[in-house]
Structure 1
């Protein structure tokens, strides 16, 4: 049964990642990977909210599998972040590569902490 929840979450997360990435990137005339950045930060926020909700006892293991493992596992993408950063560096856009690393890690951690903080304020 648990694997079904992961599959359902992934079935939503994967196309959501693709469509969001394309929509965000099409609005920016830049080599910076804004679409990947956006889905990763949103995924970190969702995981933070889910973690805070689980800590408060309002999100059980089934919701964690559905949203955390399934949805966020398919929505977020460390491999694409790594690939795009490497491609930026290889094509001479070293500043953008470094900016992608710093901004992604900083914003991702900030979003996760913000999610936990919001959840704790809501359900604690």
Structure 2
């Protein structure tokens, strides 16, 4: 599957930078945002099939961002990443419409496969001109 474009929302710049490079090497186009507000702005103006979203961030947390994404952009799939194995957060995010919930640091190969699966499931059309 080609033309996979994701938005990576994470406040840890080092983590985002490394993950973006690893995913880019695997053929995924990655745009980053440092927090939920910046990520939502990018979603309102650009097309993405998948959002990879950190659960714990200053300002809006991942669950709040997820709910806003699903409200404004229901066809975008969201994979949540968290540093803590919190089953309540995992259940809440899945109930709010997350495609998947993974622990950080996520194995890049597994995450790449989940991104491909989510992109296949996404109803965002990336073939639009413009």
| TM-score > 0.5, shorter chain as reference | no
* Structure with the greater alpha carbon radius of gyration: 1
Instruction: Give the TM-score normalised by structure 2.
Output: 0.29
The structure where strand makes up a greater share of residues is: 2
Greater share of helix residues, 1 or 2?
1
Higher RCO structure, 1 or 2 (CA under 8 Å, sep 6+) = 1
